[in-house]
Amino acid sequence: HAPALKENNYKQISIRGIPLLENVEEVKKVFNRHLHFTIVKDRDVATDHDYYESIAYTVRDHLVSRWIRTNQYHFETDQKRVYYLSLEYHMGRALSNCMINLGIENSVDEALYEMGLNIEELEELESEAALGNGGLGRLAACYLDSMATLGLSAYGYGLRYDYGIFAQKIEDGYQKEYPENWLRYACPWEISRPEFLVPVQYYGKVIDDKDGKKKWVEYITVHAMPYDSPIPGYNNNVVNTLRLWSAKASEKFNFALFNSGDYIRAVAEQSSSEDITRVLYPNDDFDEGKILRLKQEYFLVSASVQDIIARYKRSKINLKADQQVDFTNFPDKAAIQLNDTHPALSVVELMRLLIDVENLGWDQAFDITKRTIAFTNHTLLPEALEKWPIDMFQKLLPRHFQLITDINAHHLDIVQKKWPEDKERMKRMTIIDDEAKKVNMGYLSVVGSHAVNGVAQMHSDLLKSTIMKDFYELNPEKFQNKTNGITPRRWLLICNPDLADLITTKIGEGWITDLAQLKQLRDYVDDEQFIRDIQRVKFENKERLSKFLKKNFNVNINPNSMFDVQVKRLHEYKRQLLNCLRVITVYNRIKANPDKDVIQRTIIFGGKAAPGYKTAKLIIKLICNVARTVSEDPVIGDRLRVVFLENYGVSLAEKIIPAVDLSEQISLAGLEASGTSNMKMMLNGGLTIGTMDGANVEICEEVGKDNIFTFGLTYKEVDELREKGYNAKDYYEHNAELKQAIEQIRDGVFSPEDPNLFSDIVKSLLESDEKFMLLADYEEYMKAHERVEQLYKDGTEWTKKCILNIAAAGKFSSDRAIREYAKDIWNVTPTDKKLPSPDAGRP
C-alpha cells in the first residue's frame, strides 16, 4: 500500500515532464549522467562495457515511462490479460531491439558517434539472455514481441536461471560445454521486486481439517523473487512485462538447525534451496525426468498462478473494499497459455488455490480452470513427452497428486459414459498410469484446458490422429492449429537493415507490422534494378558474415560461394547426418571429376547437442572431421568448404540468417512439429531445400512448388514404409555413391588417427529399425541438390525465386499467429492503436 500523502504534494510525484530522448543533445546528457552517476566512472577509467551499460540505461530511461504508462492503462481499462507460461525464453540481446521498437536508434547512433563511440561495437558487449534451448524458447520470445506490438495486455512468466544454455566450444572437433554466466555484469534491463516475494511450498503431507477440508502441512517453503524486464511493442508506446522468478531461501528454512544453535550450517544450507533456479536443463525435445526439473516446473507455476490471482484481486472491479472476491468472471479476465507441458502443473495449482485458499467448490474450480487454461504441444517425439514417476510426484507435491487423482476420476467417468464397454480405451486415457507408475502431463494438460493446439497444420493433424487420438474423439472441439511465426522486427528489420530498407523503398514500411504486404514485391520480380539490388544486399550480408567469422573464429569462407546452411539443435530426427552424407558425396564427385565445372559451395552447420546426447555429439565430431578432410585436400580448392560454427544462438543467428542462400530443412516427415529457422531464412531471401514436414508444407503452399526444392518421403510414405519394413541395406547396396560414403566413414577416411571412431554411426545407419530412415531419402536429396545447382548457375533466375520467397513469407509473421491465438483461444482483441506519449498524462 502506498503511504498516505497530501493530495497536492502527491501530485508532484509523476513521470510527467521527465526529460526523454527526443534529440541527440538529450541522449548525450542522459548518457553522461548514467556514466558518472550510475556507473560511477569518468572517461579516463571507463571501459567499453561501462559505455555499453551507460547507453543501455539511457535507452531504458526512455522506455520506463512507457512501461509505467502501459501498466496504468491496463489497470484502467482492465481488459482481459494474457499470461504466457514457459520454462524457456530465448530472448537474445535487448539493446537494438528496444531502440528500434522505440524509434530512437538514429538519435542514439548519432549521439554516440559524436562522442566518439560506435554503437555496433557496444551492442556486441551485451551478454545475451539465452534462457532457452531452441525453437520452443525462441517462439516464446517472438510471441512476447507480437503480443506487445498488437497491444495485448500480456505477461510472460518464466524462470530467471543463473545459467542459461551452456556456451559451446568446439575443441579438436568435439563439443565442450562451458557455463555461461550471463549475470556476471548486472543486467541493466531487469528490475528486481523483492517486495513481491511469493512463497512456494514443497513436500509435507495432506491432512483432513476439522471442517472437512484438505490441508497441506509440514511443507518447506522457498521464496520466488520476481525480476521484471520490459517488452516494448513496435512503435506503439506499449511496454509489456516479462516476469522471471528467482529462488530465494526462506528465512525460516531449516528452523531446526537454527534452533539447535548451528547458525553457520543453517545459513550455509539456505543456498541449496536457491539451486532451484540455478540452471536451465539443456535438452531440446527430451525429458530427463529429474526431481530438480519438477521442482523448477512447480516453482514457475506456483509463483505465477499466485501472482495472477493476486493481480485479479487487485484489479479494478475487485478493489472495492470488504467484498468477497467473485471468481466467476476469472476466465473473462485471465487467459493462461501453457508452452508445452512444462508448466502443466498450472491446472492443479489453480485448482488448489481456488479450492483450498479461495474456498470454491470442486466443480466450480474445475470449470474456471478449464476455461482459463489452454495448451500448446510442440512435439510428437515420445522421448519428449513428460511423464513423472508417481512416487516422486506424490512426495514432492502431495496435495497436487490428490487433485490429479480427483480430476482423473472425473475424466474417466466421462470416458466411461461415452464408451461404456471400452475398457482398453479407459486404460489408454488415464492420466495416472498405475501400471507404469507414471503421471502423464500431456493428458493432464488436455483434460485441464479448453483449447489444445499444434504448431503447424500437419503437426496439429497428427496430434489428432496419433498421440491425442482418443482425446480428440472425446473432445473434438478443443483441438486447433496455430502455425508458428517469427517476429519481422528482429528477423528482418533489425538483423537485415539493408534488405529492410530496400523493401521499404518499394512498398513502404507497412510490412513491419503487416507482413502480408510483402506480397506486393511480386510486382518487382522482373525489375532488373531490383534484382540487382537484392543480389547486392545478399552479397554484402555474406561478406559481413565472412568478416565476422574471420575476426571471431578465424574461419575463412568465400562470399562468392553459395551459402548452404543448416543451423538448429543437433538431433537425429533433424538429420544433420544426412546432410553430412551429402557433403561426403559432393566431395567424392569433385575428386572423381576434378575438371568438371561445379558451383562453389560453403556448407555451414551450427547447433548445440544436449550434453548427455552421445550420438548427437559424435555427429558433430564427424562433421568437423569431414570439414577438416575437405579443407586439407588440395584437389578441392575453393569448390567446397565445410564449416561447423561454434555456439549457435540468437546473436549468431542474427548474423547468419541474412546471409543464407540455401536453407536446409531435412527432417524425416512427421517429426519436426513446425520449425522456425525455415521461416527466418525464407524471409531473408533464402531458398528452401526440404522435406514435406512441419511448416515446410505451408512454406511450399505459400511460395508454390516451383520455388522450393522439396524431396523425400511424405509422412504417409514413411508410415507405409515402416509398416512394410524399412530395409536400410537395400538402399545401401543399390546406390554406389551412398555405399562409398558410408564405407569411407567406416574405414576411417575421416578419422585416420582412430579408424573406428564412427563405427556406431555406421552401424546404426544400416540397422533395419533406424528410426530416421536416412538412407531412404538420400537419393532424392542428392537429386534435389542437383536442381539447386542448376538454378544457382543462373543468378537472375535464382534471385527471382528469392524475391518470390520473400514475397510469400507474410504468413509466417508471429503477428499473424498471435492474432489467431487472440481470436480463437484467448478471446481478446488486438489493436493498432498507439498509446499517447507518456508526457500526455495518464492514459
Query: Max CA-CA distance within the chain?
Result: 90
Closest CB 251 distance from ligand 6GP, rounded Å: 36
Q: What is the spatial distance between Cα 792 and Cα 562, in angstroms, rounded to a whole number?
A: 8
Closest CB 673 distance from ligand 6GP, rounded Å: 4
Convert residues 626-645 into a mask of x (bound to ligand 6GP by CB under 6 A) and - (unbound): --------------------
Residue 464 neighbours by CB under 8 Å, 6+ apart: 472, 479
Helix/strand/coil percentages in the chain, nearest 5: 50, 15, 35
Nearer to ligand 6GP, 527 or 701 (CB): 701
Nearer to ligand 6GP, 670 or 675 (CB): 675
Residue 595 neighbours by CB under 8 Å, 6+ apart: none
Q: What is the spatial distance between Cα 169 and Cα 517, in angstroms, rounded to a whole number?
A: 41
Is residue 438 among the annotated active site residues?
no
Nearer to ligand 6GP, 198 or 384 (CB): 384
Is residue 793 among the annotated active site residues?
no
Stretch that binds ligand 6GP, among 115-123, 251-259, 668-676, 741-749 (CB under 6 A): 668-676
Of 136, 515, 745, 774, the residue at the interface with ligand 6GP (CB under 6 A) is: 136
Of 54, 89, 135, 659, the residue at the interface with ligand 6GP (CB under 6 A) is: 135
373 Rama sector, left if φ>0, alpha if ψ -120 to 50, beta otherwise: beta
Would the CA dihedral through 97, 100, 102, 107 be positive or negative? Answer: positive
Is residue 579 close enough to count as binding ligand 6GP by CB under 6 A? no
Of 273, 496, 676, 744, the residue at the interface with ligand 6GP (CB under 6 A) is: 676
Q: What is the spatial distance between Cα 227 and Cα 247, in angstroms, rounded to a whole number?
A: 11
Nearer to ligand 6GP, 130 or 355 (CB): 130
Q: What is the spatial distance between Cα 779 and Cα 782, in angstroms, rounded to a whole number?
A: 5
Is residue 484 close enough to count as binding ligand 6GP by CB under 6 A? yes
Closest CB 677 distance from ligand 6GP, rounded Å: 8
Residues in binding contact with ligand 6GP, number by CB under 6 A: 18
Write down the catalytic residue from 542, 680, 785, 811. Answer: 680
User: What is the C-alpha radius of gyration for the chain, rounded to an integer number of angstroms?
Assistant: 28
Beta bridge partner(s), residue 243: 157, 228
Nearer to ligand 6GP, 237 or 576 (CB): 576
Nearer to ligand 6GP, 406 or 461 (CB): 461
Closest CB 451 distance from ligand 6GP, rounded Å: 16
Interface of this chain with ligand 6GP, residues 260 to 299, rule: CB under 6 A: 284-285
Quote the cell numbers at residue 638: 575453393
Write down the catalytic residue from 676, 688, 691, 799. Answer: 676
Q: Number of C-alpha atoms within 13 angstroms, CB side, residue 607?
A: 27
Closest CB 574 distance from ligand 6GP, rounded Å: 9
Q: What is the spatial distance between Cα 67 and Cα 73, in angstroms, rounded to a whole number?
A: 10
Quote the cell numbers at residue 333: 479476465
Of 145, 180, 646, 672, the residue at the interface with ligand 6GP (CB under 6 A) is: 672
Tallying the residues shown for the chain, one arrives at 843
Write down the catalytic residue from 574, 601, 785, 801. Answer: 574
Report the C-alpha dihedral over residues 190, 193, 199, 202, rounded to 10 degrees: 20
Of 296, 674, 691, 744, the residue at the interface with ligand 6GP (CB under 6 A) is: 674
Of 188, 675, 686, 810, the residue at the interface with ligand 6GP (CB under 6 A) is: 675
Judge contact between 798 and 792, C-beta under 8 A.
Answer: yes
Is residue 694 close enough to count as binding ligand 6GP by CB under 6 A? yes
461 Rama sector, left if φ>0, alpha if ψ -120 to 50, beta otherwise: alpha
Of 350, 666, 673, 749, the residue at the interface with ligand 6GP (CB under 6 A) is: 673
Question: Is 460 strand, coil or helix?
Answer: helix
Measured at the alpha carbon of residue 747, what is the angle toward residues 596 and 734, in degrees to the nearest 5? 60
Is residue 418 among the annotated active site residues?
no
Nearer to ligand 6GP, 41 or 771 (CB): 771
Quickly list H helices, 554-691: 576-592, 614-632, 650-656, 677-683
Is residue 676 among the annotated active site residues?
yes
Closest CB 506 distance from ligand 6GP, rounded Å: 30
Nearer to ligand 6GP, 306 or 346 (CB): 346
Of 134, 173, 232, 398, the residue at the interface with ligand 6GP (CB under 6 A) is: 134
Closest CB 346 distance from ligand 6GP, rounded Å: 16
Q: What is the spatial distance between Cα 681 and Cα 263, in angstroms, rounded to a whole number?
A: 57
Interface of this chain with ligand 6GP, residues 368 to 387, rule: CB under 6 A: 378-379, 384
Residue 197 neighbours by CB under 8 Å, 6+ apart: 223, 224, 225, 226, 248
Nearer to ligand 6GP, 340 or 654 (CB): 340
Residue whose C-beta lies closest to ligand 6GP: 135
Nearer to ligand 6GP, 284 or 777 (CB): 284
**Alpha carbon separation from 368 to 329, 333, 334, 413, 449 (Å, rounded):** 9, 11, 10, 20, 10
Write down the catalytic residue from 74, 138, 333, 569. Answer: 569
Interface of this chain with ligand 6GP, residues 301 to 340, rule: CB under 6 A: 340
Of 94, 455, 467, 699, the residue at the interface with ligand 6GP (CB under 6 A) is: 455
Interface of this chain with ligand 6GP, residues 384 to 423, rule: CB under 6 A: 384
Is residue 680 among the annotated active site residues?
yes
Closest CB 366 distance from ligand 6GP, rounded Å: 26
Reported in sequence order, the residue ranges of 634-702 that DSSP labels E, i.e. its strands, are 640-645, 662-665, 687-690
Closest CB 559 distance from ligand 6GP, rounded Å: 29
Closest CB 342 distance from ligand 6GP, rounded Å: 8
Stretch that binds ligand 6GP, among 129-137, 298-306, 319-327, 648-656 (CB under 6 A): 129-137
Write down the catalytic residue from 69, 74, 378, 641. Answer: 378
Of 30, 87, 139, 468, the residue at the interface with ligand 6GP (CB under 6 A) is: 139
Residue 483 neighbours by CB under 8 Å, 6+ apart: 455, 456, 457, 674, 695, 698, 811, 812, 817
Residue with cell 473473462: 332
Closest CB 393 distance from ligand 6GP, rounded Å: 19
Judged on CB neighbours under 10 Å (0-12, 13-18, 19+), 805 is buried
Stretch that binds ligand 6GP, among 110-118, 301-309, 496-504, 669-677 (CB under 6 A): 669-677
Q: What is the DSSP letter of 520?
A: G
Closest CB 287 distance from ligand 6GP, rounded Å: 8
Residue with cell 472476491: 325
Closest CB 615 distance from ligand 6GP, rounded Å: 17
Stretch that binds ligand 6GP, among 25-33, 349-357, 672-680, 763-771 (CB under 6 A): 672-680
Is residue 574 among the annotated active site residues?
yes
Question: Is 339 strand, coil or helix?
Answer: strand
Output the DSSP codes for 37-55.
Answer: IIS---TTT--HHHHHHHH
Quote the cell numbers at residue 812: 509466417
Nearer to ligand 6GP, 162 or 386 (CB): 386
Please list, residue by residue across 75-92, b when 16 or more beta carbons sit within 10 angstroms of its beta carbon and e when fewer do: beeeebbbbbbbbbbbbb
Q: What is the spatial distance between Cα 76 and Cα 742, in angstroms, rounded to a whole number?
A: 66
Instruction: Name which of 31, 85, 82, 81 is nearest 61 in CA terms.
Output: 31
Stretch that binds ligand 6GP, among 128-136, 154-162, 363-371, 684-692 (CB under 6 A): 128-136
Nearer to ligand 6GP, 133 or 246 (CB): 133
**Active-site positions?**
378, 568-569, 574, 676, 680
Binding site for ligand 6GP (CB under 6 A): 134-136, 139, 284-285, 340, 378-379, 384, 455, 484, 672-676, 694
